[in-house]
Amino acid sequence: MAGTVFALLLLGALLSATWNALIKGGSNKYLQTVLIANGAALFALCIIPFLQLPDAHSWGYLLISAVLQVIYYKYLAQAFHAGDMSHAYPIMRGTAPLLVSLVNGPLIGDTLSLGKWLGVVLICAGVVGLAWEARYRLSEHRTLIGHSLLSASLIAGYTICDGIGVRASGHAASYAMWNLLVAAIILTIWTVLTRRGEFLDYAKGRLVSALVGGLAAVIAYGIVLWGMTQAPVAAVAALRETSMVFVLAIAVFIFKERVGLRRYAATALITCGAIAIRLW
């Protein structure tokens, strides 16, 4: 994997951690998600006129991906509501790249070297290890774990669709912007139909967080989709999950959370996995 691709994917991971932290910080996780999705759509709408349309063969994958993302947003919000971000996020983001790796070859045709497989496994082990670090028991947190695992399946689903669709589109940036716009339109229509008054009240005074989160989501998603045209989808999916390293840093230095040795060890596994993917 080229150094430029690797560095940009790490930037995307940082931005992904940023907009997810904004969702977790919202008083209503679902409505905060809708606001950020709309912020991303606003930026996408400003960029789309300057881009060519994606190839017609990619639109089916784009639409399926957008629908899966809308469903994912629902369970992401529910997982964050059910427990801490440092527990829900690692489960969903750690399981997803492993699922992608298992179906990557048959569906997309990418092959991973032994070193990249090692990197994927290390990253998955590290992020899942973060989920169990804080003494959580399965029986006591079934809702959080159930929603997180369902989210992981949805992430894997739209990642595979995007991996195929963005390569067929001929224009990674255009595919990314249209995907964000379509997903936001579907999500907003559903929210207005079911929670209009609540959504409008919640949106007041939250323009800045919507725009900051939206911009972070646009750049992060664009980087990931571009990366899929430059490297194996499974490797890109795994590197995306190094966002947990940045989540840990945000927790320690901004929110002043107390972090134990197990969490640092899990983070070290993620770092080693990223290095393995970069070198091999």
Distance (Å, rounded) from C-alpha 179 to C-alpha 195? Answer: 24
Distance (Å, rounded) from C-alpha 69 to C-alpha 48? Answer: 20
Res 109: pLDDT: 66
Res 131: pLDDT: 65
pLDDT per residue, tens digit, the chain (280 aa), is 678 888 899 999 999 999 988 998 888 999 999 999 999 999 999 999 999 999 999 999 999 999 999 999 999 888 888 777 777 777 777 777 777 777 766 666 666 788 878 888 888 887 777 666 655 555 556 777 788 889 989 999 999 999 999 999 999 999 999 999 999 999 999 999 999 999 999 999 899 999 999 999 999 999 999 998 888 887 787 777 778 788 778 877 877 777 778 878 877 887 787 777 766 7
Distance (Å, rounded) from C-alpha 197 to C-alpha 28? Answer: 14
How many domains are there within the chain? 1
Structural domain containing residue 129? 3-279
